[in-house]
Structure 1
Amino acid sequence: MNSQKILTIILGIVGVISAIFLFMIISTGDEAIEAGEASGAVNTFMFIAYAVLFVTLAVVLLFVLKGLFSGNIKKTLMTVGAFLAIVVISYVMSSGSDLDLKPFNDKGLGITEGISKNVGAGLYAFYILGILAIGSMLYGGAKKIFNK
């Protein structure tokens, strides 16, 4: 059996187990969770979710590193560098002081200018990467149309 079939079977099993856990959490009910009666069950499912998340991240990291060293490392490093450049540009574009933080802090959220700057940088990076993704799809589609 090749690794893709094994991975598909594992993903199917994790999906079924996740659906069962989701049903168990939903069947507990909002009232029981808010009252704290089901905190043990919810905490258990959260720890299981964290474990699955960390296993997934480890597998993804493993395959990324495997692909990195078996492929063209120069091209990969250029792509990572371009991504980091977008993140740096986004951080520089974000000011963090263009929002009145007093209403948020009156509610006890503790939002600072640094947090606001990080959120703004994340939004700018999302917008830039989204525009690049849409542009690359349009470019690829136009290239296919005109090359026929």
Structure 2
Amino acid sequence: MLHKILKIVALILSILGAVWLVRIILAGDTAILDSADLQDSLVTPFIYIAYLIFAIALVFVLVFVIKNLFTSGSSLKGTLIGLGAFLAVVVISFLLASGEETPMRDGEVLSASASRWVETGIYAFYLLALIAVGAMVFSGVKKLAK
């Protein structure tokens, strides 16, 4: 029953999204940029449809993740270990980041705090990529050793 309801909701949202997309394409970029009325009547509903789809997907992901976490204890333990490792990478990245005020192209200035968080994200990406490559190399070497 739930599967049928979800299929119907997905179909309705798909049709609504397609209709608004066609309306936006037919109106054209310059007409939409020049007219606030067209922005309100065409773009705003399309954005709300996207928000609705995102919210539905987020709710389902959270529900199923939480449901699966508590079905077995080892799953919860593994998830908490992974979350802790990820938080450790973020903390290490934050400690490595310096964060200085940075002038941007549009004349604005990025604050030191915002700059530090951007640098933290970059360092976290590099650390996670390094860990992933290391894990693949380790796995490959371990397979060859067998």
CA distance in 2, matches of 1:17, 1:87: 41
TM-score (norm 1): 0.75
2:125 aligned residue: 126
Residue 10 to residue 95, structure 1, CA distance change in 2 (3 Å) = farther
| Corresponding letter in the other structure for 2:138 | Y
> Which residue of 68, 90, 101 corresponds with 1:87?
90
5+ unaligned residues in a row in structure 1: which ranges? none
CA distance in 1, matches of 2:94, 2:136: 26
Q: Percent identity?
A: 40
Q: After superposition, what is the alpha-carbon deviation per residue over 1:44-78, rounded to whole angstroms, capped at 9, x for unaligned?
A: 10111111111111111111111211131222111
CA distance in 1, matches of 2:139, 2:15: 39
CA distance in 1, matches of 2:115, 2:8: 40
User: Post-superposition shift, 1:38?
Assistant: 2.3
Tell me, yes or no, if structure 1 residue 27 matches structure 2 residue 26. Answer: yes
Higher relative contact order (CA 8 A, sep 6+): 1
| Corresponding letter in the other structure for 2:91 | V
Which range moves more in the overlay, 78-87 or 132-141?
132-141
Which range moves more in the overlay, 13-22 or 58-67?
13-22
Residue 56 to residue 113, structure 1, CA distance change in 2 (3 Å) = same
User: Post-superposition shift, 1:32?
Assistant: 1.6
Residue 16 to residue 146, structure 1, CA distance change in 2 (3 Å) = farther
CA RMSD in angstroms comes to 3.1
5+ unaligned residues in a row in structure 2: which ranges? none
2:68 aligned residue: 67
Residue 88 to residue 33, structure 1, CA distance change in 2 (3 Å) = same
User: Post-superposition shift, 1:130?
Assistant: 1.7
Q: After superposition, what is the alpha-carbon deviation per residue over 1:90-114, rounded to whole angstroms, capped at 9, x for unaligned?
A: 11111112xx62x32x735342011
| Structure 2 counterpart SS, 1:70 | coil
Tell me, yes or no, if structure 1 residue 39 matches structure 2 residue 42. Answer: no
2:114 aligned residue: 115
